[in-house]
């Protein structure tokens, strides 16, 4: 009696594990594909039709035979058996290559077909024999259960059948789970390596190649190295992939960082950025950023220096932005026509949204553009 209960518990425990594992296998997609076996099976209309066309008539025939032989439990077991058979066929049809290899490697040894060494074979035979004995005992009890009134007997029989399958398949299930875990780990590691390699290739190796090609132009080399440094830093410390901040900058700090990177890459000047506070970008602040970019590019073109300072601070009701260089400077009252045009475009840009721009400079003293934009949305 206790032995039976033990068997039932054991069967339930391992049975549930196996079920969970099987479901996971069916429902979790393979690495690199976005559909799982289950969804492929459901979509495989032709396969379903074929399988149904073969199995349903076959099953009806079996039902007929069994009912005429008066062994109803075989008919009763027939339904699930055929259903399972159909599903297995469908899974096989829809499994892709790695999954087929998996089935090959793990299901075939189950049948003992490729167990070469004697010890393994003896162990397998012993397992199957014990399993079959317990299974036979179980079936005997089941058959008996139909003719007697003892309610416990069919249950005990079922437990024996399940125990039989545990004895036969248990070690295999265990090794399967173990293999799966190690395989998962290996795959995660490989994936991370691949991602890293892809990034290093796209950014670092490309830049190194460009630097080799431009080795006779020191300025170009410095520019490339600087742009690459920015990008790597953003990737390592700010967790940003290169090129992902793009047009969709939604915060001021993001936008200013983008401005910095673009000017550094396009104009070969170091932009030293200091940012205090942050706030969401709106049209007014985008205009402020455009003006700041204009001012930074001006500094790159005219100052004669290789560095420009960019400072942005978010205050309660304004955003201040300063672009400063230590270059040759100029007299703001006596600038040539074309440069006045540029200063004008800076001023007009921010004025449209109620902001202001002041240019401070004197010959030999560098230049500073001070930009100020009132905030619409205040911090709460």
CB neighbours (10 Å) of residue 177? 12
Task: Output 114 or 238, the one with its CB closest to another protein.
Answer: 238
The only residue of 18, 55, 265, 275 in contact with another protein, by rule CB under 8 A: 275
Q: Which of 222, 57, 74, 65 is nearest to 142 (CA)?
A: 74
CB of 232 to another protein, least distance (A): 10
The only residue of 272, 340, 345, 356 in contact with another protein, by rule CB under 8 A: 272
CB of 173 to another protein, least distance (A): 43
Query: What part of residues 122-161 is at the interface with another protein (CB under 8 A)?
Result: none
Query: Which of 40-48, 134-142, 190-198, 267-275 is the region at the interface with another protein (rule: CB under 8 A)?
Result: 267-275
CB of 258 to another protein, least distance (A): 15
Contact 271, 310 (CB under 8 A): yes
CB of 274 to another protein, least distance (A): 3
How many residues belong to the site for another protein (CB under 8 A)?
17
- Distance between CA atoms of 136 and 129, rounded to whole angstroms? 10
Q: Which of 252, 251, 249, 271 is nearest to 320 (CA)?
A: 252
Query: Which of 107-115, 119-127, 206-214, 275-283 is the region at the interface with another protein (rule: CB under 8 A)?
Result: 275-283
CB of 276 to another protein, least distance (A): 5
Q: Which two tokens stand for residue 165?
A: 């399958």
Q: Which of 111, 92, 112 is nearest to 102 (CA)?
A: 92
Task: Output 110 or 379, the one with its CB closest to another protein.
Answer: 379
- Distance between CA atoms of 230 and 241, rounded to whole angstroms? 11
The only residue of 57, 72, 277, 354 in contact with another protein, by rule CB under 8 A: 277
What is the Cβ-side half-sphere exposure of residue 76, based on CA atoms within 13 angstroms?
A: 6
CB of 280 to another protein, least distance (A): 14
| Strand boundaries in the chain, DSSP class E | 270-276, 307-314, 318-325, 356-361, 367-374
The only residue of 322, 355, 359, 371 in contact with another protein, by rule CB under 8 A: 322
Contact 274, 309 (CB under 8 A): yes
- Binding status of residue 362 toward another protein by CB under 8 A: no
- Kindly give, in sequence order, each residue whose CB lies less than 8 Å from that of residue 87, ignoring residues fewer than 6 positions away: 41
CB of 199 to another protein, least distance (A): 18
Task: Output 220 or 370, the one with its CB closest to another protein.
Answer: 370
Task: Output 105 or 318, the one with its CB closest to another protein.
Answer: 318
Query: What part of residues 301-320 is at the interface with another protein (CB under 8 A)?
Result: 309, 311, 313
The only residue of 11, 346, 368, 371 in contact with another protein, by rule CB under 8 A: 368
- Distance between CA atoms of 49 and 194, rounded to whole angstroms? 41
- Binding status of residue 324 toward another protein by CB under 8 A: yes
Judged on CB neighbours under 10 Å (0-12, 13-18, 19+), 235 is: middle
- Binding status of residue 24 toward another protein by CB under 8 A: no
CB of 134 to another protein, least distance (A): 58
CB of 220 to another protein, least distance (A): 18
Q: Which residue has the tokens 């010890």?
A: 119
CB neighbours (10 Å) of residue 302? 16
Q: Which residue has the tokens 């936008």?
A: 255
The only residue of 83, 87, 129, 274 in contact with another protein, by rule CB under 8 A: 274
Q: Which of 212, 221, 323, 206 is nearest to 268 (CA)?
A: 221
Phi and psi of 148, rounded to 5°?
-110, 170
Binding mask 216-255 for another protein (x = CB under 8 A): -------------x---x---xx-----------------
CB of 348 to another protein, least distance (A): 24
- Distance between CA atoms of 294 and 299, rounded to whole angstroms? 9
CB neighbours (10 Å) of residue 54? 13
Task: Output 211 or 275, the one with its CB closest to another protein.
Answer: 275
Judged on CB neighbours under 10 Å (0-12, 13-18, 19+), 74 is: middle
| Chain residues in the site for another protein (CB under 8 A) | 229, 233, 237-238, 270, 272, 274-277, 309, 311, 313, 322, 324, 326, 368
């Amino acid at each position: 009696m206790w032995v039976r209960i033990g068997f039932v518990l054991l069967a339930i425990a391992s049975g549930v594990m196996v079920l969970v594992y099987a479901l996971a296998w069916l429902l979790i997609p393979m690495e690199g594909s976005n559909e799982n076996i289950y969804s492929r099976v459901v979509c495989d209309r032709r396969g379903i039709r074929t399988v149904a066309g073969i199995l349903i008539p076959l099953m009806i025939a079996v039902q007929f035979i069994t009912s005429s032989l008066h062994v109803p439990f075989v008919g009763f077991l027939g339904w699930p058996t055929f259903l399972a058979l159909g599903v297995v066929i469908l899974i096989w049809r829809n499994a892709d290559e790695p999954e087929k290899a998996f089935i090959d490697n793990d299901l075939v040894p189950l049948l003992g077909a490729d167990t070469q060494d004697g010890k393994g074979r003896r162990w397998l035979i012993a397992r199957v024999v014990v399993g079959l004995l317990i299974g036979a005992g179980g079936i005997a009890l089941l058959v008996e259960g139909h003719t007697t009134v003892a309610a416990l007997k069919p249950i005990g029989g079922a437990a024996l059948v399940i125990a039989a399958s545990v004895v036969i398949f248990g070690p295999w299930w265990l090794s399967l789970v173990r293999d799966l875990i190690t395989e998962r780990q290996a795959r995660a590691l490989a994936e991370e390596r691949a991602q890293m390699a892809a990034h290093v290739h796209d950014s670092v190796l490309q830049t190194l190649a460009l630097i080799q090609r431009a080795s006779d132009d020191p300025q170009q080399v410095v520019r490339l190295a600087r742009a690459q440094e920015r990008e790597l830093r953003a990737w390592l410390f700010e967790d940003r992939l290169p090129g992902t901040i793009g047009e969709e900058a939604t915060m001021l700090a993001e936008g200013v960082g983008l401005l910095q990177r673009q000017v550094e890459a396009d104009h070969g000047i170091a932009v030293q950025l200091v940012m205090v506070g942050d706030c969401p970008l709106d049209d007014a602040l985008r205009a402020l950023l455009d003006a700041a970019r204009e001012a930074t590019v001006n500094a790159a073109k005219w100052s004669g220096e290789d560095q420009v300072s960019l400072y942005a601070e978010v205050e309660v009701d304004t955003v201040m932005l300063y672009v400063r260089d230590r270059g040759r400077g100029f007299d703001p009252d006596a600038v040539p026509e074309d440069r006045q045009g540029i200063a004008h475009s800076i001023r007009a840009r921010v004025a449209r949204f109620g902001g202001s721009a002041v240019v401070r400079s004197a010959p030999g003293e560098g230049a500073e553009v001070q930009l100020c934009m009132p905030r619409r949305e205040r911090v709460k």
